[in-house]
Amino acid sequence: MNPATIFYLLGSLCVFLAERMVSDSDAVRYALDGLGAVFVVGALASRLSTFARHPTATKLALAFTALSASSLLFYVLQSKMVLEGLALEHDTEEHLVTACRAMIPLVWLVGALPAFGLNRTLAASPHSVHPLRMSAAWEGGLTVALGIGMLFPLNWLAHEYNETFNFSFFKTTTVGDATTKAVDALAEPIRVVLFFPTGSEVLTEVQPYFDELEGANLSVEVMDHAMDPEQAKEWKVRDNGNVALVMGDKVEIIKLGDKLDAAKKDLRKLDGKVQTAILKLSHEKRTAYFTVGHDEFYWKAAVDDKSNIESLKKVLEGLNFKVKELGIDDGLAQTVPDDAAIVFVVGPKKAFFPEEVSALEAFRDQGGALFIALEPGTEDFSALAKLGGVSFDGTPVVSDKSFLPLSRGLIDHLNIGTNKFTSHESVTTLSKHSNEAVVITPGAGSIAELEGQPGKVTVTIKGMPDWFHDLNANYEFDKDTEKRGGLSVAAISEGPKTDADKKAWRTAVVSDATFASNFFIRNAANAYFIADTVSWLTQDPAIGGEVENEEDVKIQHTKEDESLWFYGTSLLLPSLVFAAGAMRVNSRKTKGAA
């Protein structure tokens, strides 16, 4: 960079700092302004040194420099002292200030960039400057300056006429089967109050949903927070944009917001939120225990989402369960706590002590509910499976025909799924949607009914005809040693009442635990299977059924997909552009040589 350009840039920077950054301090301001003037004079002196050799180019460079410096006139024009002297009307003064502030950087650029181009050309050609090079220098600088200048009006237009367009799919959920069941099972009616102002866009989305639920057990009304602040205060409703569900002296609030764009996310999940609120009002919170101490799947410190069951915990909490741990330190070797509504055993890797199995059996026989999900491994879990009247075969089940491709390798044959559901009420939702619902049970074993066990055993989920036990762990079918079909992955059992005051005991056994992990419970069929099975086990039809959800499903890419996108955008496309440019340059050289 030549001295004329450096001096001018330093001079402009000093003036900018003086007038915009330290204008409150007169001493510093005037010092910087003076220093800026010195630098500008230095730039002019440096440029005049070439006048004898290149008079035309030097005159042009000085003219563009003067044009750039004239931007200070616009700064002076919008200064307070000048505006007070002009005594303009307020709107006119505001327009003048806006125009001047836009012109300052534009005029500076239009003068400075062509001058810099000419300075560079003069420095590179000390003896002579070809007219075409001189023209190319200032025209190139002017083009860049005008291009940058176009950003100023575009930025102003974007600011003045700011519009947000959301083209994502949006639909407020309809009433689901689970919510209808929860309303029908109410022992006491619920009053739903929609806090929205008249004409609210969110109200037009929310009211049809609740109108569909309205009936003997549920009434609906609209209330403006500003019109009845005392009632809103009693229910702890702070402003509009909330839905209050009231049962006696209990209130549940669903916050949506009174702006449609902000409320869309919650409106997509409205049905689930309403079901949860109704269950909190109508049900006493029950306790679901998860056994610990045997390397079970857990909601903390899991290796990955395929062994973490935090989402399962949230599903149960949404069904108004309180989730607790149950291990030997909590008395599992003696007895299951009295407040247990259901006990989960999910993916243990270590065997249970006989005393622990006996405690679970005693809990079951007293009308308790057990949900046992086992994983293939080296331990013998037959005693746990026997609590549900079934045997458990821990040899992994695979399919080489229908599977979920996650890694694009043979190991994907473990990612099996099925839509073979029976007509039992614990899989009602799945049976209704068996054409599109597939329960994914990766790395599952299989179960089979045991003879001579108490209670009635019913298989609820059967395997696909192409499934087989992978006896030699090669993930492929060996027709001489392996057999397809005839496998089951889930069963329930129901025993007789052991006491007139107790309910009949119920258990469910699944030959896979990974299906309930964070990674796979996102599959709606897996979640419905859990909710409906828990509903049947706890003999509470209000918590089962289908919950409507219109959330966008995130697209999941495999590692290979991500690699393809990464290398395609970072290497392939730039390489193609480079190759095209090289071919173009080579073509021009060939034509020039010809």
Q: What is the pLDDT averaged over residues 232-246?
A: 93
* Residues 381, 398 within the same domain: yes
Task: From 230, 260, 279, give the residue that closes a domain.
Answer: 279
Alpha-carbon distance 520 to 536, whole Å? 22
Q: What is the pLDDT averaged over residues 320-329?
A: 95
Averaged confidence pLDDT in the chain: 86
Does residue 376 contact residue 399 with C-beta atoms inside 8 Å?
no
Residue 138's H or E segment, with its range, is helix 131-149
Evaluate if residue 31 carries a pLDDT over 90. Answer: no
* Residues 488, 587 within the same domain: no
Alpha-carbon distance 469 to 475, whole Å? 9
Q: How far is C-alpha 491 from the geometric centre of its chain's CA atoms?
A: 35
Residue 376 identity: P
Both structure tokens of 372: 């046992």
Q: What is the pLDDT averaged over residues 554-578?
A: 57
Does residue 326 contact residue 358 with C-beta atoms inside 8 Å?
no
Identify whether 549 is part of a domain: no
* Residues 192, 304 within the same domain: no
Is 400 buried (19+), middle (13-18) or exposed (0-12) by CB count in 10 A?
A: middle
Does residue 218 contact residue 183 with C-beta atoms inside 8 Å?
yes
* Residues 337, 467 within the same domain: yes
* Residues 275, 290 within the same domain: no
503: DSSP letter: P
Could you tell me the residue range of the domain that residue 584 belongs to? 557-594
Q: What is the pLDDT averaged over residues 165-190?
A: 79
pLDDT at residue 413 in the model = 95
Q: How confident is the model at residue 556 (pLDDT cuts 50, 70, 90)?
A: very low
Q: How do residues 487-523 score in pLDDT, each as one tens digit?
A: 999 999 998 776 666 778 999 999 999 999 999 999 9
Residues 6 or more apart in contact with residue 405 via CB below 8 angstroms: 412, 415, 558
Evaluate if residue 553 carries a pLDDT over 70. Answer: no
The helix/strand/coil state of 510 is strand
Evaluate if residue 372 carries a pLDDT over 50. Answer: yes
Alpha-carbon distance 33 to 21, whole Å? 12
**Number of domains, the chain:** 4
Q: What percentage of residues in the chain have a pLDDT greater than 70?
A: 88
How many CA atoms, within 13 angstroms, populate the side-chain half-sphere of residue 213?
33
Evaluate if residue 526 carries a pLDDT over 70. Answer: yes
Task: From 224, 256, 279, give the residue that closes a domain.
Answer: 279
* Residues 275, 292 within the same domain: no
Task: From 255, 279, 303, give the residue that closes a domain.
Answer: 279
Does residue 527 contact residue 437 with C-beta atoms inside 8 Å?
no
* Residues 272, 346 within the same domain: no
pLDDT at residue 177 in the model = 87
Question: Which of 304 and 398 is assigned the larger pLDDT?
Answer: 398
* Residues 116, 225 within the same domain: no
pLDDT at residue 555 in the model = 44
Identify whether 254 is part of a domain: yes
Q: Which of 72-81, 196-205, 270-279, 342-351 has the lowest mean pLDDT?
A: 72-81
* Residues 275, 288 within the same domain: no
* Residues 228, 147 within the same domain: no
CATH number assigned to the domain comprising residue 237: 3.40.30.10
pLDDT at residue 579 in the model = 72
Identify whether 113 is part of a domain: yes
Does residue 146 contact residue 111 with C-beta atoms inside 8 Å?
no
